[in-house]
Structure 1
Amino acid sequence: MENCPLQFKGLYLGRAGKPTLILEAIASCNLRIWHAFFGTPCRCNDINVLESSPIFNDVFEGHAPPINFVINGHQYDMGYYLTDGIYPQRATFIPTISLPLNEKESIFAQKQESKRKDVERAFGVLQALFAIIRQPTLARDKYMLGKIMFTCIIRNMITEDERD
């Protein structure tokens, strides 16, 4: 906190009273991180992070890449993101079913929650592999911290590819 420039102290203040930056990530069940957006101040809520993230620019502008899949014989041509209840209503956001009314909804809610945990597991693996991520940093430059974060993500992906 003492190294944080005065004008940024409140902006980057986290829940524990320490300067914090948010990592937004999209990960798959094999713990591969497909998208990472680092450096958003901690005081931002999920909506503010979403609005500052580049991941949805193409979606919001109607230029998203074509996606085609079939479920139960029904053809879909639009991808989707699993979210919690605070995200705005968009066709690409599928919110959690907080109170499932039948077995089908209950199974969907369980599957969705397990997929949402993939990001937490992927970040946990990064923290286990790279001590620089789990320790407080002395660097004051958020761009350097971002480079460190992306280097760890890329290094982990290369290691996983070579292992296979």
Structure 2
Amino acid sequence: MASSSHYHYHNNDEEDAFDSVFDDLYEELEFIPEPKERKKRIYIERNREEGHKKLWNDYFKDTPTYPHNLFRRRFRMNKRLFLRIVHRLSTEVEYFRLTEDALGRSSLTPLQKCTAAIRQLAYGSASDAVDEYVRLAETTAQHCLHNFTAGIIDLFGDQYLRRPTPEDLQRLLLKGEERGFPGMIGSIDCMH
């Protein structure tokens, strides 16, 4: 059996050629501009606790600042339904659970996250439009919207995101007739 030292040899021409190629590449690299430094993200203290308190006082306390009809207009649903959605998401979807950050501060509340998502959906607004009221950044608002829609589909999809049953249609026709729109199924703009 041959030892590895048997195959060891020096070839100065090959080493010189390698050194020459290496030196040429190294010299070329010296002329490549340095990559630009990444801009540091600007931290904005948004006082998320204050945002939750304002949201709670405006819509959810026993005597809210804004009455039920304004809640319905701004959230595009009644308060009971909204709170049911918030409760299900906060107990069954990890993203909406209340947690603490590294400093021991509470994260955004499920109310803030769901409000951000609903406002984006209800008004078709940009993600950064909810910052001043709900107190969360644009990317966080995008995450809220994504997790909200995924959670709604997961939790309520089988029951509500389906074709209506004959019973559903009968109930909707009756409700439409009570409101002065007889026979209004399948007409989004109520013009047909």
* TM-score w.r.t. length of structure 1: 0.28
More strand by share: 1
Which structure: greater helix fraction?
2
**Higher RCO by CA contacts (8 Å cutoff, separation 6 or greater):** 1
